Amino acid sequence: MIDVATASVESELERYFAASRLRAGDYGPHYVELWDQLEQASAGGKRARPALVLAAHNGLGGTDPAAATQLAIAFELLHTAFIIHDDVIDRDLVRRGSTNVLGAFAARGAALGADEEQAKTWGEAAALLAGDLALSQAHRIIAQLDIDPITRGRILDILDRAVFVSAAGELNDVTNTVAPHLLGIPDVLATLEQKTAVYSCEAPLQAGAVLAGASAADIACLGRFGRLIGIAFQLTDDMLGVFGDESKTGKSTVADLREGKITTLLAHARTTPEWPSIAPFIGKADLDPTEAAFVRETLTGCGSAAHTEQLARDHVALAKTELAASDLPGELRELLSTFADRAVNRIR
């Protein structure tokens, strides 16, 4: 049900990218390619953020489907901008198993005769610009919402908070890889909340609710619910990044270990006697499959895997408690409850 509602989002996005490509034609083939790549980057997602916008709007008696669709698209493009810029920061050439904007332009640069370093620099430039364009369009769509000024102003504030907090979270995340310090589990959870949960769940739900004219209590409840499930989803992603089935997730299960990505898995493992046996492999750029398998076994054996799974389940349970204690309409509660379950059901 949550998926069907996003059909209008798909067709509106398609129209937007077609129009942009047409317009880009005046500036040469590389710019057209940039828009093609931007569309592909956007097309790869699960449309979770649009689904949350529409669920909140429709579930709270909203009566402006056209504005809700636009709002849904704005949050999807915000997400597209953030993942593209995240890949620039990490210098990743691949996202979800496919070449990303950076990778596509790096390959294009190589085909034009550039050396590897130059081609990658070009790819980074293209990705940075693509992210700026998607970010700009997210802002523009909300600025253009044909709704009363007070509601639009409130949605603009939600967008502003989403951008402000995500940037803080991203900076903290990068800081950990530059100047590693022993992060406790609460620090890791705070970074997940800032970097992902606010813009991915809290903001889309609250924006949809504000558009529907929801009560302050409902809006606040959706914010708390959103942050909790946002964290749960991220915890599960971190589990899948080590223990997942690559053929299903399209995500490498060694990349996070090689990068030494700070997760609750590692924050927990550090507190166990087994830590010294795996510490040398965390952040090892050429970690091999045997070593990775040993790390996985140890993370399971020392209880870190179970701990992170439990953390995710706890966050889902807390999120459902918020729903149960709320005055949200029954149908919306049910829909969001199902959505929350997905956060943990993906693991096994």
Which residues form the interface with its own copies (CB under 8 A)?
20, 23-24, 26-28, 30-31, 34, 81, 85, 88-89, 91, 109, 112-114, 118-119, 121-122, 124-126, 128-129, 131-133, 135-136, 139-140, 142-144, 152-153, 156, 159-160, 163-165, 167-172, 174-175, 177-179, 194
| Dist. CA 88–CA 85, nearest whole Å | 5
Tell the burial category of 325 from Cβ atoms under 10 Å away from its Cβ (0-12, 13-18, 19+).
Answer: exposed
Please state, as a whole number, how many other Cβ atoms lie within 10 Å of the Cβ of residue 216: 8
Residue placing its CB nearer to its own copies in the complex, 2 or 171: 171
The nearest distance, CB 118 to its own copies, in angstroms, is 5
Nearer to its own copies, 167 or 318 (CB): 167
CB 75 within 8 A of CB 48: no
Nearest CB to its own copies, comparing residues 23 and 96: 23
95, β-bridge pairs: 98
Cβ atoms of 72 and 54 closer than 8 Å: yes
Separation of alpha carbons 181 and 168, rounded Å? 17
CB of 343 to its own copies, least distance (A): 25
Q: Of 61 and 153, which CB lies nearer to its own copies in the complex structure?
A: 153
Comparing CB distances to its own copies, the nearer of 230 and 244 is 230
- Shortest approach of its own copies to residue 335 CB, angstroms? 30
Cβ proximity of 115 and 90 under 8 Å:
no
Catalogue the E-assigned strands of 36-160. Answer: 94-95, 98-99
What DSSP designation does 194 have?
I
Minimum CB separation of residue 91 from its own copies in Å reads: 8
- Both tokens of 112, joined, read 């034009």
Centroid of chain to Cα 203: 12
Q: Whole-number minimum distance, CB 76 to its own copies, in Å?
A: 17
CA-based nearest residue to 200, from 312, 76, 340: 76
For its own copies, which is the closer residue by CB, 20 or 304? 20
- Contact 303/275 with Cβ under 8 angstroms? no
Shortest distance, CB of residue 246 to its own copies, whole angstroms?
26
Provide, rounded to whole angstroms, the least separation between the CB of residue 297 and its own copies: 30
Which of 131/226 has CB closer to its own copies?
131
